[in-house]
Amino acid sequence: MKNSIEKAIFTNHFKDVGDIYQRIYFGNEFCENLIPTLGLMKSWVSFAKLKNKELTFVTPFVTNLGIEKLKYLLAFLNKQKSCEVVFNDWGVFKLIRDNFINITPVLGRLLSRQRRDPRLIDIINGRQKIREVYSPKEQEKFVILPKKIPSSLANYYRTCVLGVSAFQQFILSCGINRVEIDNLVWKMRLKLNKRLKVSIYVPFGYVSTTRSCGKLTLTYKPCQKECKDYFIRLGSESLLSNVYAIGNTVFYKNAEPSVGYLKDLGIDRVIYQPRLPF
Amino acid sequence: MIICTLVLCKNVLNMKKGCFNILAPFSAIHDVQVLKDAGVDELYCGYITEDLKNKWPLAFNILNRRGEGSSFDNYAVFKEAISQAYKYNLPVYLTLNGLYTSQQYPLLLSLVNNIQSLPGIKGIIVADIGLLLYLKKSKFKKEIHISTIAGCFNSLTADFYKELGANRVILDRQLTVEEIKDIISRIKSDIDIEILIIRENCGGFIDSLCTFLHCSEQLELNTETIKKNVSLIKAYDTEICDLGCEFYFKKLANGNFETFDSLTELSKPMNLKYDRDKHHGFGCRICDLYDLKEYPIKSLKIVGRGKSSQEISKFVKLLLRVLNNLKQADISKSEFQSKCKALFSKVAFNGKKMCSNFDCYFSNSLVKNEK
């Protein structure tokens, strides 16, 4: 139906895929160790066909090792009738563009370069709080009074590089017709060329990522796939109760946006993550 | 001071002969002389106009990644510093590695237009493809370098930026030495390579993919005394967390560990706890130069926004000694790395302690690649 919003589910579990979703996203955006095997990829392709769903394969930022892993998977997808691939690395885009003409490239949320730290909400909305800090060293109390920010700064955080016309023209000229964003915790503004389609991820948005996942899992050791065992909810305060560290990445959880808000932003696809996307 | 290396690997034979230049930051006129005397080959700096910083305060690291007090903001002073560098034959690269929105472009392009006429400016360091496209469209005559904020983890990305008109790419710091070697070996274009070599590690995240608020404010302490022992400070970020990510790291250890199926709280596995030293190590990869000596890396970047030229000079001199050690034909890898560690300890820690893996930009011991 024209103007309707497509519903996609981002999961690595077959059981999550319900009837309400028209499209399945699978893969990982943050870790090349989690790039699926060809066997698993084939299972997802068969599953999507069986369930009559469209399929989108999500790829991470990668070293050359990841590029090598992806070559085989993309070659397989290239032979399918149609398949979207979300790229979060310009090297992966080049790989697709130069070799796999049947694949539809989608610019992933890591490349939309939104500023996402949920702490910014108070600054953007001009609601910084007066704080008092005691310095034992100087035996002095400091009252910290918020500095006012210019409106241009708040506007900066509401948009991102995707709004720049030269960039939009460039990606369109590259055959990229879809871009993806996170649902920020403050009101966003997005002005895009009508030929560009936009997807939004809910309810989890990413804040930051690392290749030293041991620093986030607090093991300080190389990866043992702790991302499959546990995650950390950062705190009980209202803001932090919605911030999570899992594997190598920090996420925030946001409330579900209204359909009206999504339509105002020009969004035509919602990617629902039933769990932290790992 | 330039060590030119012959490229021996078969698969990099078609690439340019490599030279390790030392590239250092500066933020004042007198820094140029100090750094020249120390032995640098290239310089980089920030310059932001009054109009730009009034609209997008420097503290927010939006216009470049240098924070308050680390960029030139007076054109006459900036011009004088650049002409000093030109006199000493030190190329200067201007850091414009923000991620820009439409509203910023008129003032940004006006700045670029103004600095184009300065012969001492050899190029601009960018992170934003939009700005890169504008520069090419406007027939920008100087070099374009791709900042580490643009995120280059593989050889295809380096070649992609070359296609767009870049002359040099700065590789991400979270790459192992083996990964760097592999990237350089497989690059098909003639794009120059630069790596971050020492100082200022990030708390643990990837420069290009981190969206934490990193409010680099210069706080004016004791601006106003309200009453005895109580002072007023004005700040954008009232949490006053100079390292954006540290705010979150501090919360990690007290967080709730949860599993996926039950969402029930776990007892903290293996008694995990936050160790600040393991997040905010010094930042270095000089030991890797032994393995990289045959690779055509154009420049080694010393990181250190807003640091004094005296402080940066210490690291220039350290690097010169490291590169001198590298020239010794019979030096073994372990001997070279022992010398690196001793030098590093002396300069970074005043000899009070030795470095650990957590002082490395990215250590093999922290990553496991599954082949």
* pLDDT tens for each residue of B162-209: 999 999 999 999 999 999 999 999 999 999 999 999 988 787 899 999
Say yes or no: A254 contacts chain B, CB-CB below 8 A.
Answer: no
Assign 3-class secondary structure to chain B: CCEEECCCCHHHCCCCCEEEEEEEECCCHHHHHHHHHHCCCEEEEEECCHHHHHHCCHHHCCCCCCCCCCEECCHHHHHHHHHHHHHCCCCEEEEECCCCCHHHHHHHHHHHHHHCCCCCEEEEEECCHHHHHHHHHCCCCCEEEECHHHCCCCHHHHHHHHHCCCCEEECCCCCCHHHHHHHHHHCCCCCEEEEEEECCCCCCCCHHHCCCCCCCCCCCCCCEEEECCEEEEEECCCCCCCCHHHHHHHHHCCCEEECCCCCCECCCHHHCCCCHHHHCCCCECHHHHHHHCCCCCCEEEECCCCCCHHHHHHHHHHHHHHHHHHHCCCCCHHHHHHHHHHHHHHHHHCCCCCCCHHHECCCHHHCCCCC
A124: chain B residues, CB-CB within 8 Å: none
Token pair 């918020």 in the structure block, residue: A146
- Residue type at position A142: F
Out of A66, A167, A250, the one facing B130 most closely (by C-beta) is A167
Say yes or no: A210 contacts chain B, CB-CB below 8 A.
Answer: yes
Say yes or no: B86 contacts chain A, CB-CB below 8 A.
Answer: no
Q: Which residues, in sequence order, are CB contacts of B122 under 8 Å at separation 6+?
A: B42, B91, B92, B93, B142, B143
Q: Check pLDDT > 60 for residue A72.
A: yes
Angle at B146 between CA B144 and CA B149, to 5 degrees: 145
Residue A169: predicted pLDDT: 97
Q: Give residues 147 to 176 of A whose Cβ lies within 8 Å of B.
A: 147, 149-150, 152-153, 155-156, 159-161, 163-167, 170
CA B223 to chain centre: 32
In a domain, A278, yes or no: no
Say yes or no: A131 contacts chain B, CB-CB below 8 A.
Answer: yes
Residues of chain B with CATH 3.20.20.380: 3-201+282-362
Out of A167, A214, A218, the one facing B366 most closely (by C-beta) is A214
Residue A248: predicted pLDDT: 94
Q: Check pLDDT > 70 for residue B317.
A: yes
Asked if B139 and A172 touch (Cβ cutoff 8 Å), the reply is: no
Secondary-structure percent of chain A, ordered helix, strand, coil, rounded to 5: 30, 25, 45
Q: Check pLDDT > 50 for residue B85.
A: yes
**Mutate which: B174, B248, B261, vs A, most A CBs within 10 A:** B248
Residue B8: predicted pLDDT: 34
What number is the average pLDDT over the span B300-305?
92
Give B91 or A255, the one with higher predicted confidence: B91
Question: Which chain B residue has its CA at the smallest distance from A189's CA?
Answer: B101
Q: Check pLDDT > 70 for residue B368.
A: no
Residue B18: predicted pLDDT: 40
Q: Check pLDDT > 50 for residue A4.
A: yes
Q: Check pLDDT > 60 for residue B370.
A: no
In CATH, the number for domain B3-201+282-362 is 3.20.20.380
Strand partners, B179: none
Give the span between the Cα atoms of B253 and B84, in whole angstroms.
50
Give the span between the Cα atoms of A227 and A213, in whole angstroms.
9
Q: In 3D, which of B71, B49, B74, B51 has the Cα closest to residue B59?
A: B71
CB spacing of B101 vs A147 below 8 angstroms: no
A137: chain B residues, CB-CB within 8 Å: none
CA dihedral A151, A157, A161, A165 (to 10 degrees): -40
Q: Phi and psi of A25, rounded to 5°? A: -105, 135
A141: chain B residues, CB-CB within 8 Å: 229-231
Q: Give residues 6 to 25 of A whose Cβ lies within 8 Å of B.
A: none
**Mutate which: A119, A132, A186, A189, vs B, most B CBs within 10 A:** A119
Say yes or no: A129 contacts chain B, CB-CB below 8 A.
Answer: yes
CB spacing of A89 vs B238 below 8 angstroms: no
Residue B210: predicted pLDDT: 93
Out of A94, A140, A160, the one facing B156 most closely (by C-beta) is A94
CB spacing of A143 vs B182 below 8 angstroms: no
In a domain, A1, yes or no: no
Give the span between the Cα atoms of A113 and A127, in whole angstroms.
24
CA B48 to chain centre: 18
CB spacing of B236 vs A146 below 8 angstroms: yes
Task: Compute the Cα dihedral for B278, B280, B284, B285 and give only its sign.
Answer: positive
What number is the average pLDDT over the span B57-69?
90
The first and second tokens of residue A198, run together, are 């936009």
In a domain, A77, yes or no: yes
Asked if A55 and A83 touch (Cβ cutoff 8 Å), the reply is: yes
Say yes or no: B156 contacts chain A, CB-CB below 8 A.
Answer: yes
Domain at A43, CATH number: 3.20.20
In a domain, A277, yes or no: no
* pLDDT tens for each residue of B245-265: 777 777 777 777 776 655 444
Percent with pLDDT over 70 in chain A: 97
Closest CA–CA distance from residue A125 to any residue of chain B (Å): 12
Q: Check pLDDT > 70 for residue A236.
A: no
Q: What is the pTM of this model?
A: 0.93
Give B87 or A223, the one with higher predicted confidence: B87
Q: What is the ipTM of this complex?
A: 0.95
Out of B156, B160, B248, the one facing A234 most closely (by C-beta) is B248
Say yes or no: B165 contacts chain A, CB-CB below 8 A.
Answer: no
**Mutate which: A95, A206, A230, vs B, most B CBs within 10 A:** A230
* pLDDT tens for each residue of A166-199: 999 999 999 999 999 999 999 999 999 999 999 9
* pLDDT tens for each residue of B332-361: 999 999 999 999 999 999 999 999 888 899
Out of A142, A222, A232, the one facing B367 most closely (by C-beta) is A222
Q: In terms of residue numbers, what domain contains A173?
A: 6-272
Say yes or no: B184 contacts chain A, CB-CB below 8 A.
Answer: no
* pLDDT tens for each residue of A138-155: 788 888 888 889 999 999
Q: How many domains does chain A have?
A: 1
In a domain, A64, yes or no: yes
In a domain, A148, yes or no: yes
